[in-house]
Amino acid sequence: MTRAQAIAHAQDYFDTGAFKRDLARLIAMPTESQNPDRAPVLVDYLDSEMRPLFESLGFECRILTHPKAKGPFLFAQRIEDESLPTIFGYGHGDVIRGLDAQWSEGLSPWTLTERGDCWYGRGVVDNKGQHVININALRAVLESRGKLGFNAKYLIEMGEESGSPGLRELCADEAELFRSDVLIASDGPRLNAERPTVFLGARGVITFDLQIVAREGGHHSGNWGGILSDPAIQLAHAIASITSPTGQIRIHEWVPKELPRAVREAVADCVVDGGPDGPRIDPDWGEPGLSPAEQVFGWCSFDVLAMKAGVPETPVNAVPPSAWARCALRFVVGIEPKDVVPALRRHLDRHGFPMVEIIMPGAERFGATRLDPEDPWVAFAVDSIAGSTNKKPALLPNLGGSLPNDIFAEILGLRTIWVPHSYPGCSQHAPDEHMPTAIAREALGLMAGLYWDIGSGNAPPV
């Protein structure tokens, strides 16, 4: 069998409808890790679906747990020869809440529905569809060549949408079991629907609350307005001090000293475009002098995710007693995560806002990572995908969003290469999550080509 035949075999899995049937069965499982009532479904996803799938490919499987985790983990491995490179795969079978009532008429989060050239359902892209593509691309190579030509290890977790609690500790505890050379995984969106994409890490994220509690209870604004401090006004000014009116971050510890040359060159031909349903970019927002791609993939961003003072649903004429905002900093390599909150504290105190309390909500936080774009495995992967698709892949130094990639890069010491099978307008985490069928079919082929090339003996040394 040839490389072309392996790719055709992978795409035949799509053309025969087998992929759609398999994915529909997985979508029907409401694996919401934020919902405690779904705990049995998290277990069932691994026991009834993932374990049989991997075992049919000659993988040895075991269920792993950790006290901090939201759900179990499935670890699968196929060792063909200890002298061969070992590729580590990753995916998550849990999904964000279904938001059933908010989906468009005729759509349900738990029913795979074809509409136009897209499949709809919770998890079709985040992340059930993406890891099922990769696993069946492995199948195509295995059935075409009779072997992979490399060792494969795979981890499916069931708590990523809850911040991957326990994953860091599990990887530290099982570092020898998980020992591999390169992570090749899929999550997040492509640069756009048409262009295959490789990204090498992720921006980190730290979420925190800002709060002012001035007093107990509200007081009539006619009797007390002007002589009682207004926490909403104070908090608005405090937040405004963090950035310019156009969103340029003013805390110097929160931004890199410069945009690295390799990053600038990697994104030089990348255009951020959410497609016809995506938002229009505001060209004057953020760090001056940077392109949209440099902003998203090479710089840091600060956002206010939610704010509240008083009772917004039923406003009354009263000075509110308190004000609250949830904020997030997404940051790139070069920012010291441990100094993010202390730097904010120093900034607020310096600008006259000692009354603002910084509260950490306790959510798991991901660090910033970025494999060197000049690593030989990067060029190998990009060239392989180009050869399979006849398209020039976009190379992003890191995803604009956040993933637990720092765990794989720092604790397991892996090169990290991500090949996403979605696009920016896919509505992940929102109602009407969907996957374009063209991306699914192309992804099966390009992943089969990449796995074939790794097993052909021409991969870079590890």
Encoded tokens for 256: 């890199």
137: amino acid identity, one letter: A
pLDDT tens digits, one per residue of 284-293: 999 999 999 9
Max alpha carbon distance in the chain (Å)?
Answer: 85
95 CB burial (10 A radius; 0-12, 13-18, 19+): buried
pLDDT tens digits, one per residue of 208-261: 999 999 999 999 999 999 999 999 999 999 999 999 999 999 999 999 999 999
Tell me the pLDDT band of 113, cut-offs 50, 70 and 90.
very high
> What's the confidence (pLDDT) of residue 275?
73
Mean local confidence (pLDDT), 253-275: 90
Mean local confidence (pLDDT), 63-73: 94
> What's the confidence (pLDDT) of residue 177?
98
List the beta strands (DSSP E) in 214-311.
Answer: 219-220, 301-309
206: amino acid identity, one letter: I
CATH code of 204-256+300-359, in short, is 3.30.70.360
- Tell me if residue 12 falls in helix, strand or coil: helix
What residues pair up with 88 in beta bridges, in sequence order? 153, 183
Mean local confidence (pLDDT), 109-121: 97
Tell me the pLDDT band of 364, cut-offs 50, 70 and 90.
low
pLDDT tens digits, one per residue of 394-447: 999 999 988 899 999 999 999 999 999 999 999 999 999 999 999 999 999 999
Residue among 242, 371, 260 at smallest CA distance from 301: 242
Average pLDDT for the chain: 96
pLDDT tens digits, one per residue of 21-56: 999 999 999 999 999 999 999 999 999 999 999 999
What residues pair up with 201 in beta bridges, in sequence order? 370
Domain boundaries, the chain: 3-202+368-454, 204-256+300-359
DSSP 368-417: PEE--TTSHHHHHHHHHHHHHHSS--EEESSBSS--THHIIIIIS--EEE
> What's the confidence (pLDDT) of residue 70?
85
As a whole number of angstroms, the distance between CA 5 and CA 362 comes to 50
Asked whether residue 160 carries a pLDDT value surpassing 80, the answer given is yes
Cis amide linkage into residue 127, ω under 30° from 0: yes
> What's the confidence (pLDDT) of residue 363?
58
> What's the confidence (pLDDT) of residue 163?
87
Fold of 3-202+368-454: Aminopeptidase (3.40.630)
Cis amide linkage into residue 398, ω under 30° from 0: no
> What's the confidence (pLDDT) of residue 389?
98
Domains 3-202+368-454 and 204-256+300-359 share a fold: no
Contact 369, 202 (CB under 8 A): yes
> What does residue 279 show for φ and ψ, rounded to 5 degrees?
-75, 160
| Entry pTM | 0.91
> What's the confidence (pLDDT) of residue 361?
82
Q: How far is CA 11 from CA 2, 6, 19, in A?
A: 14, 9, 9
